[in-house]
Amino acid sequence: MLVLFAVIFGGIVTGRLLQSRRLAFVSRLIAVIIWALLFLLGLEVGSDPAVVGGMATLGRTAFVIFVFSVAGSIGASWLLWRRIRGRSAAGAEDAGLNPVYADPVPGRVSGAGDGTFDADISSGTVADQTSEALPNPALHRALCLPEPPDSEACKQAPTPASPASEPEKTLSMWGALKGSLVIVAFFVAGCVAGLFALVPFDVAGARVSTYVLYALMFCVGVTLGHDETLAGRVRRLDPRLALLPVMTAVGTLAGAALATPLLPPLAVTDTLAVGSGFGYYSLSSIFIADFRGAELGTVALLCNVMREIFTLLAAPLVARWCGPLAAVSIGGATTFDTTLPVITQAAGKPYAVVSIFHGCTLDFSVPFLVTFFCTL
């Protein structure tokens, strides 16, 4: 954990030192590293006889727990997002606040629609994180105050851009889907390579995935440090976002508990133990296998691998449909490391800090919650 923090911090310092240079290649490098990590994950899954042997029977159980627990986390995080935006919307319209932020944003106004709508007054451009926000006439008129409506300043006020057309939305969605299919392809290739022992050395023993993960975290740190506006946006984040790990845990565990009647003869403590892995498949599966046996340990491994892969695939769509907090929430404990780049791209760079805090909090909770439910 401390090593990962040090690597990210080193990347941030490097990014700050290189702010005067263009680092467009870093984003492409991050994509390549993610592909490598997914290949290594598939290699680990395919080379494990217990996972391969129980894939057919235990996979269904893992899938049901995965669906219910992720649905619960999405629902809980969406409620928090609506609560934060609902309380902030009225004040935002009057004072020029962004509902996500705690302080006024100079030169910007925010829409109160379901999407996050930011209009930059100085440049007249519009940033729409979800591509679904509609221009708010009341907020547009607020740009002209305290000038009279027929004043020159009011006439020159920028007009919000219209929402993206349907072809543009389709192309954007296809772009996200295309990237997801590439990710799946690398994972499947890793599974096949592990199943047929195509890799001549022990990847786990060589700690290849650990070093690749360090490279990913360093690149993420570089992108954060290179962004000159990130610090100001982070300071304006609403402090209530710190409740997100709690909402993720509550939603995940509630969903896992609701899945129990569909999975006899599992007890509710079994599904809660699996759900409390929060995507941390390596540690949670080891704990559960030790307390409840290899079979439930395999279920925990498959369920939490599914959660991590789902986050890598669906974070952009979840952010668009359910808000940025849901995109963070579905990643569980993995939002600190492997899924951080995807979530940062889907939810926005200011949510990188929220994502790291969310992942660290859940990461620390996994051993305690898994042990607690396994001993009940």
pLDDT tens digits along 340-368: 888 988 998 889 889 988 988 898 888 88
Q: Is 34 exposed, middle or buried (0-12, 13-18, 19+ CB in 10 A)?
A: buried
59 Cβ contact partners less than 8 Å away, ≥ 6 residues apart: 302
| C-alpha span between 70 and 310 (Å, rounded) | 9
What's residue 286's pLDDT? Answer: 78
* Helical spans, DSSP H, in 163-267: 166-195, 203-206, 208-226, 230-235, 244-259
The pTM is what? 0.64
Number of Cβ atoms within 10 Å of the Cβ of 208: 17
37 Cβ contact partners less than 8 Å away, ≥ 6 residues apart: 209, 212, 213, 216, 338
| C-alpha span between 322 and 161 (Å, rounded) | 23
Q: Could you give the strand order of the β-sheet that contains 125-128, starting from the edge strand earlier in sequence?
A: 108-110, 117-120, 125-128
pLDDT tens digit string along 278-316? 988 877 887 888 888 878 988 998 899 899 889 988 999
| Token pair listed for 128 | 């729409």
Cα 322-324-329 angle, rounded to 5 deg: 85
